[in-house]
Amino acid sequence: MNDLNSHELLKHLSKQLKARKVNQQITLMEVCGTHTMAIHRSGLNQMLPDNLRLVSGPGCPVCVTGVSYIDTAIDMAKQHGVTLTTFGDMMRVPGSKENLSEIRSQGHAVEVVYSPLGALELAEKNKDKNIVFLAVGFETTTPTIAATVSLAKEKNIKNFYVLPAHKLVMPALEALISDPNLGLNGFILPGHVSTILGSKPYEFIATKHNMACVITGFEAADVIQGIHMLIDQIETGDPKIEIQYKRVAHEEGNAKARALVDEIYEPCDALWRGFGSIPMSGLKLRPAFEAFDALKAFPVTVNDEVENTGCECGAVLQGKIIPPDCALYGQVCTPEYPIGPCMVSSEGTCAAYYKYRTS
């Protein structure tokens, strides 16, 4: 495919998909927020063949980050006077009482940066301030954060810290597979994450769990092709890990990036919105780099169990419901006044449904 955005190509592929005969009930889950947005932006969810259903999973790193993490960052700013630095998506994610944007309006130091290096540069220029970077993300963003921590140690910068909320995709996939009520037949696997991981770590899904998987790109044409490949695997009874996104993702992934992450971090249990604690699904700084751990330097205590009242974001992230099934969706909860992160993030499922709603 030379021009993945060609109107004629998309029209042809869309007709092919809609006309395809699917001989059994199939449920596929995309586990990347960028895929969710691409599916709804292109209207692919409206042109599926009979017997085929798409559901969204925990593919938005902001969305799976628990309320307690936001509360921790806020209390850190209030109690210790640190300067919080974060990507813009995090600013309006609700904590139990307020969000980062609100505390900034109260006079607390919260800065939006475009990379962790931006936070490090802020620390270098402001030696009298303690700079805390909110380290949220999947395997795609973790290597750049690891590289920044490594650089901070190399430069002996003592006022730069990270508050880790890294998430690992593979344990979350295990948690989804272990839920028989979801009835999943296959995964549209994340292209960006897979550029780091490669395809090999996913092989257990096909061999152990007999489920189809395709690593898919983010244009509508990519997703359509990936869906066809998944249907073929399921209907022929030949589950495997295929790469549709071959122009970027490869079998071996990025070994250098993985080695860097392994040098700086080690696996740990992590709290996921909707799932609770998933064993060994997060990352914490290794002892050699603990001097950069914000929570060790500026300890606070918050309630790990708190959730936003009435918000069904957790169930959406598990693929148990779609956003319109939540009583708050589109009524109380909108992008202008979000109750949960699934409506805040540019990769959130609720935001995708709302932005590209047809009625």
Mean pLDDT of the residues in the chain = 93
Would 232 be classed as within a structural domain? yes
| Nearest by Cα to 237 from 198, 211, 266 | 211
**What pTM, to 2 d.p., does this model score?**
0.92
Would 27 be classed as within a structural domain? no
Strand, helix or coil for residue 165? strand
Would 22 be classed as within a structural domain? no
Provide the pLDDT confidence category of residue 12 given band limits of 50, 70 and 90. confident
Q: How far apart are CA 260 and CA 254, in angstroms?
A: 10
Residue 209 sits in a domain whose CATH number is: 3.40.50.11740
* 87 C-beta neighbours (distance < 10 Å), count: 20
Q: Provide the CA 145 distance to its chain's centre, in angstroms.
A: 16
Q: What is the CA radius of gyration of the chain?
A: 21
284: Cβ contacts below 8 Å, ≥ 6 apart: 164, 265, 266, 267, 268, 293
Q: How far apart are CA 315 and CA 122, in angstroms?
A: 38
pLDDT for the residue 4: 59
Strand, helix or coil for residue 253? coil
Q: How many domains does the chain have?
A: 1
Half-sphere exposure (Cβ direction) of 188: Cα atoms closer than 13 Å: 32
Domain hosting residue 203, numbered range? 32-351
Q: What percent of the chain has pLDDT over 90?
A: 81
Would 151 be classed as within a structural domain? yes
Would 323 be classed as within a structural domain? yes
28-62 per-position pLDDT tens digit? 999 999 999 999 998 888 888 889 999 999 999 99
pLDDT, mean of residues 83-108: 94
pLDDT, mean of residues 280-300: 97
Residue by residue, DSSP assigns 121-151 as HHHHH-TTS-EEEEEEE-TTTHHHHHHHHHH
Would 123 be classed as within a structural domain? yes
Among left, alpha and beta (phi > 0; psi -120 to 50; other), residue 276 is left
Would 105 be classed as within a structural domain? yes
* 310 C-beta neighbours (distance < 10 Å), count: 12
60-82 per-position pLDDT tens digit? 999 999 899 999 999 999 999 99
Backbone phi, psi, residue 257, to 5°? -65, -40
Would 25 be classed as within a structural domain? no
Buried b (16+ CB within 10 A) or exposed e, 214-253: bbbbbbbbbbbbbbbbbbebbeeeebbbbbbbeeebeeeb
Q: How far apart are CA 173 and CA 178, in angstroms?
A: 9
Q: How far apart are CA 27 and CA 72, in angstroms?
A: 37
